[in-house]
């Protein structure tokens, strides 16, 4: 049977009928001309009111609007130009993969991830892992890599952050309005929703499947909130990363095993399985089971699956590696294992961490053992991961531990400021700079851009950020419960002339959001300097169950509200993909001070650097590779107990600020341009543009893992022929 999304917008005038396809294809999220078309159609006010979501906006528009547009020559001219671009990008036989690697129609790479950060109109993400997955899918579309994504719908998991007047995060959950989001439920020819069954203890779980079109890449999201499920099962996909171990195990069973079943129902048998973190690792089991059921023996099936599995591990934080008690595993996998023909002990053995065998079934240990291709997300992270897991290979030295690395990267068209890219880079780097952005030679032309031009663009981005923050404060002021203290803390006193530091990230404790506040007196002197003041913009969410992190957030809020800082600290509510765009474009310095080696990569600093916002960062994650002495500032984390380290690391930041950053920023020539500073900005762009991008990353995944795995399987396919 042929499952497909139901068409919406069926009654559009024929001349502009493809607007419906475009609205449902997130292609517009990284092509400003696509967004512009919708703005032309409905107006800027409707576009903002509907959260920059064309599906929602189009549903609000009157039929007469479409009718008029279909007769308006100016609109039609623009429409045709955008559609020509769109159609060209959707051609399945174009792109790097097709020309350099293989025929993309022959093999599929199934990419499994618990979250995807694609656009704020589709909030199914928590943080960095999700943005990485979202950027990955967009890049696969750009390069023509035949990947398909699998994930969860999370109908009510997205946290809208609200801060009470005493600085406490009181989250409200936003229900995803699926009917108005750029997702479509898959239906069969009779119009019935596609329902996929996943056998579980005590009956089955059913999922419905929603399709997200990401350029030419398909993403399928599973949803357990269907009538066929009892209430407990219905709530499995409610929210991201639930704390209850049993529900979490059930989530991961649905994600892994269910994901493979969904692909099967759609007629997709992936050649390669790519696990983005350990959460979906049960997909490995289901692939083995499929083969055993077809008559292959267990060992052969395991071998086949192992050599076609890629596992990316993302964090050295212990809580980031899921472990499930054996009794829980027994409860859910007892009958499944008999169908696989694997004994319980053998199976449990695959998930045991030899250093802590009693801790249960470890998803990372399982995924490491069952995949031939394993990678970390930066060079530094590989070092740490090899230390963490070397005991799985007791006969090998640490350097021989078979774990590679592919440093994370960001999707350039998504994260570049539109005008910086379309105006400045187009003019000086050549109109095809975006097409060819992984060619380092193009970025050498950065030196051709006059300092004034870059500086002016930056000033515009900075004012846009500060205006956005003040607009939010103004809206908040309308709320009868808002008070002036909160408003000041939210950034009302920010000033576009002042050197601005940005610190926006989840309030996980290892990220040390309060480190800058460590020595309040010294910080106050820095911020309130009469000639060379500094301001800091903070943003970020705490996990709703994490009281410790909420306390950190409260400390930041209280500092922002503290009059002795003279309004030079701001905490901005509700850090999401939309606010992130403004922040990474508009602050002057991006500050990053996790406790090493906990930040496996970090990507927000890449987004900032790409836009000429250099990082001031501790050496951890990507910065160990990214820093070249000229593109920002770096310092080694100190050793010792936490309190000592925190004091010393804060000291290191104050030093760099006082001795290097502040003087350089305020040293302007008679035209008002800080030449030395602009040099650092240009260098930041030059280093990030070709290297720390999803283009480089996806090419590397393809060349290191996908292509060899595909070739290996093809060789066996040919050998097996009689």
Ligand X SMILES: *Cc1c(COP(=O)(O)O)cnc(C)c1O
Closer CB to ligand X, 567 or 597, in the complex: 597
692 lies in the site for ligand X, by CB under 6 A:
no
In whole angstroms, how close is the CB of 131 to ligand X at the nearest point? 4
Q: What are the CA-CA distances from residue 173 to residues 44, 52, 161, 657 (Å)?
A: 27, 20, 8, 38
In whole angstroms, how close is the CB of 360 to ligand X at the nearest point? 28
Question: For residues 693, 697, 702 and 708, what is the CA-based torsion angle, rounded to 10 degrees?
Answer: 150
Q: Residue 173's beta-bridge partner residues?
A: 159
161 lies in the site for ligand X, by CB under 6 A:
no
The correct pick among 603, 611, 691, 693 for binding ligand X (CB under 6 A) is 603
In whole angstroms, how close is the CB of 55 to ligand X at the nearest point? 22
Which of helix, strand or coil describes residue 555? Answer: helix
Is residue 460 within 8 A of residue 584, CB to CB? The reply is: no
**What DSSP letter does each residue of 588-607 carry, written as one string?**
SEEEE---TT--S--SHHHH
625 lies in the site for ligand X, by CB under 6 A:
no
Query: What are the backbone dihedrals phi and psi of residue 124, each rounded to the nearest 5 degrees, phi first?
Result: -120, 50
595 lies in the site for ligand X, by CB under 6 A:
no
413 lies in the site for ligand X, by CB under 6 A:
no
258 lies in the site for ligand X, by CB under 6 A:
no
577 lies in the site for ligand X, by CB under 6 A:
yes
602 lies in the site for ligand X, by CB under 6 A:
yes
Q: Which stretch binds ligand X (CB under 6 A): 27-35, 456-464, 466-474, 572-580?
A: 572-580
In whole angstroms, how close is the CB of 18 to ligand X at the nearest point? 30
Q: Which stretch binds ligand X (CB under 6 A): 88-96, 222-230, 599-607, 653-661?
A: 599-607
425 lies in the site for ligand X, by CB under 6 A:
no
Q: What are the CA-CA distances from residue 310 to residues 111, 255, 380, 659 (Å)?
A: 9, 16, 20, 45
Three-state SS string over 502-538 comes to EEECCCCHHHCCCHHHCCHHHHHHHHCCCCCCEEEEE
Is residue 574 within 8 A of residue 600, CB to CB? The reply is: no
Q: Which stretch binds ligand X (CB under 6 A): 106-114, 274-282, 604-612, 673-681?
A: 604-612
What phi-psi label fits residue 567: left (phi over 0), alpha (psi between -120 and 50 degrees) or beta? left
104 lies in the site for ligand X, by CB under 6 A:
no
In whole angstroms, how close is the CB of 270 to ligand X at the nearest point? 27
Closer CB to ligand X, 216 or 607, in the complex: 607
Return d(Cα 526, Cα 564) in angstroms, integer. Answer: 12
580 lies in the site for ligand X, by CB under 6 A:
yes
509 lies in the site for ligand X, by CB under 6 A:
no
Closer CB to ligand X, 169 or 604, in the complex: 604
> Which stretch of DSSP H or E encloses residue 6?
none
The correct pick among 3, 30, 116, 131 for binding ligand X (CB under 6 A) is 131
Q: Which stretch binds ligand X (CB under 6 A): 165-173, 272-280, 571-579, 667-675?
A: 571-579
x-or-dash pattern for ligand X, window 446-485, by CB under 6 A?
----------------------------------------
Return d(Cα 646, Cα 641) in angstroms, integer. Answer: 9
The correct pick among 20, 127, 259, 690 for binding ligand X (CB under 6 A) is 127
In whole angstroms, how close is the CB of 379 to ligand X at the nearest point? 16
Max distance between CA atoms of the chain, in angstroms, equals 84
585 lies in the site for ligand X, by CB under 6 A:
no
In whole angstroms, how close is the CB of 12 to ligand X at the nearest point? 33
Tokens read off for 598: 């906990």
Binding residue count for ligand X, defined by CB under 6 A: 13
Closer CB to ligand X, 12 or 504, in the complex: 504
Closer CB to ligand X, 163 or 265, in the complex: 163
505 lies in the site for ligand X, by CB under 6 A:
yes
Closer CB to ligand X, 580 or 661, in the complex: 580
The correct pick among 20, 128, 259, 491 for binding ligand X (CB under 6 A) is 128
Is residue 217 within 8 A of residue 137, CB to CB? The reply is: yes
In whole angstroms, how close is the CB of 713 to ligand X at the nearest point? 34
Return d(Cα 396, Cα 186) in angstroms, integer. Answer: 48
Return d(Cα 159, Cα 123) in angstroms, integer. Answer: 9
Return d(Cα 137, Cα 391) in angstroms, integer. Answer: 34
116 lies in the site for ligand X, by CB under 6 A:
no
> Which stretch of DSSP H or E encloses residue 493?
none
694 lies in the site for ligand X, by CB under 6 A:
no
The correct pick among 576, 660, 700, 712 for binding ligand X (CB under 6 A) is 576
Window 208-237: residues binding ligand X (CB under 6 A): none
Long-range contacts of range 325-332, CB-CB < 8 Å, 24 or more positions apart? 325/245, 325/360, 325/361, 326/360, 326/361, 328/245, 328/246, 328/249, 328/360, 329/249, 329/360, 329/361, 331/201, 332/200, 332/201, 332/249, 332/250, 332/253
Pairing of strands 217-223, 147-152: parallel
Q: Which stretch binds ligand X (CB under 6 A): 12-20, 104-112, 336-344, 575-583?
A: 575-583
Return d(Cα 69, Cα 312) in angstroms, integer. Answer: 47
In whole angstroms, how close is the CB of 43 to ligand X at the nearest point? 27
Contacts with ligand X by CB under 6 A lie at: 127-128, 131, 505, 575-577, 580, 602-605, 607
């Amino acid at each position: 049977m042929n499952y497909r999304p139901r068409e919406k917008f069926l009654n559009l005038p024929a001349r502009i009928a493809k607007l419906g396809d475009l609205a449902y294809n997130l292609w517009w999220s990284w092509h400003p001309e696509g967004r512009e078309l919708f703005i032309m159609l409905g107006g800027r006010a409707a576009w903002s009111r509907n959260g920059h979501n064309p599906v929602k906006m189009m549903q609000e528009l009157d039929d007469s609007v479409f009718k008029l547009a279909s007769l308006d020559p100016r609109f039609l001219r623009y429409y045709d130009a955008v559609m020509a671009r769109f159609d060209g990008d959707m051609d399945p036989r174009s792109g790097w993969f097709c020309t350099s690697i293989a025929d993309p129609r022959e093999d599929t790479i199934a990419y499994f991830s618990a979250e995807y950060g694609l656009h704020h109109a589709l909030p199914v993400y928590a943080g960095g892992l999700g943005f990485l997955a979202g950027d990955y899918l967009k890049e696969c579309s750009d390069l023509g890599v035949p990947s398909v994504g699998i994930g969860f719908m999370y109908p009510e998991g997205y946290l809208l952050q609200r801060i009470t007047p005493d600085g406490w995060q009181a989250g409200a959950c936003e229900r995803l309005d699926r009917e108005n989001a750029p997702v479509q439920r898959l239906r069969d020819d009779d119009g019935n929703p596609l329902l996929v069954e996943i056998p579980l203890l005590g009956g089955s779980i059913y999922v419905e499947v929603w399709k997200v079109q990401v350029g030419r890449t398909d993403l399928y999201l599973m949803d357990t909130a269907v009538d066929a499920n009892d209430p407990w099962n219905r709530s499995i996909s409610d929210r991201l990363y639930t704390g209850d171990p049993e529900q979490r195990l059930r989530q991961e069973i649905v994600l892994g095993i269910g994901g493979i079943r969904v692909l099967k129902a759609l007629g997709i048998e992936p050649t390669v399985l790519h696990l983005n973190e350990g959460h979906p690792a049960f997909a490995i089991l289901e692939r083995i089971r499929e083969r055993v059921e077809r008559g292959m023996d267990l060992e052969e099936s395991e071998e086949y699956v192992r050599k076609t599995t890629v596992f990316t591990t993302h964090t050295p934080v212990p809580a980031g590696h899921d472990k499930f008690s054996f009794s829980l595993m027994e409860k859910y996998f007892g009958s499944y294992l008999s169908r696989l023909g694997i004994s319980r002990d053998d199976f449990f053995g695959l998930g045991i961490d030899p250093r802590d065998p009693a801790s249960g079934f470890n998803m990372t240990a399982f995924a490491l053992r069952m995949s031939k291709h394993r990678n970390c997300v930066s060079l530094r992270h590989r070092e740490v991961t090899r230390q963490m897991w070397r005991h799985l290979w007791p006969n090998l030295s640490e350097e021989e531990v078979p774990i590679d690395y592919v440093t994370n990267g960001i999707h350039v068209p998504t994260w570049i400021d539109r005008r910086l890219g379309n105006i400045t880079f187009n003019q000086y780097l050549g109109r095809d700079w975006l097409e060819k952005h992984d060619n380092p030679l193009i970025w050498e032309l950065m030196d051709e851009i006059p300092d004034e031009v870059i500086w002016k663009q930056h000033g515009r981005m900075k004012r846009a950020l500060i205006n956005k923050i003040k607009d939010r404060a103004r809206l908040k002021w309308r709320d009868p419960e808002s008070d002036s203290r909160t408003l000041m803390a939210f950034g009302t006193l920010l000033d576009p002339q002042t050197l601005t530091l940005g610190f926006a990230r989840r309030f996980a404790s290892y990220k040390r959001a309060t480190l800058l506040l460590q020595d309040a007196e010294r910080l106050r002197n820095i911020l309130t300097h009469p000639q060379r003041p500094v301001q800091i913009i903070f943003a970020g969410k705490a996990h709703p169950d994490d009281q410790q992190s909420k306390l950190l957030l409260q400390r930041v809020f209280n500092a922002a509200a503290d009059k002795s800082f003279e309004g030079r600290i701001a905490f901005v509510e509700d850090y999401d993909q939309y606010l992130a765009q403004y922040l990474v474009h508009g602050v002057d310095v991006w500050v990053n001070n996790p406790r090493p080696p906990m930040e496996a990569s970090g990507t927000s600093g890449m987004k900032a650097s790409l836009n000429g916002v250099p990082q001031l960062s501790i050496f951890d994650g990507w910065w160990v590779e990214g820093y070249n002495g000229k593109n920002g500032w770096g310092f080694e984390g100190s050793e010792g107990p936490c309190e000592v380290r925190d004091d010393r690391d804060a000291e290191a930041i104050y030093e760099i600020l006082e001795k290097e950053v502040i003087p350089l920023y305020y040293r302007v020539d008679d035209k008002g341009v800080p030449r030395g500073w602009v040099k650092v900005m240009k260098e930041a762009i030059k280093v990030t543009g070709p290297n720390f991008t999803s283009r480089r990353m996806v090419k590397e995944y393809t060349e290191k893992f996908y292509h060899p795995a595909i070739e290996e399987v093809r060789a066996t396919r040919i050998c097996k022929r009689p």
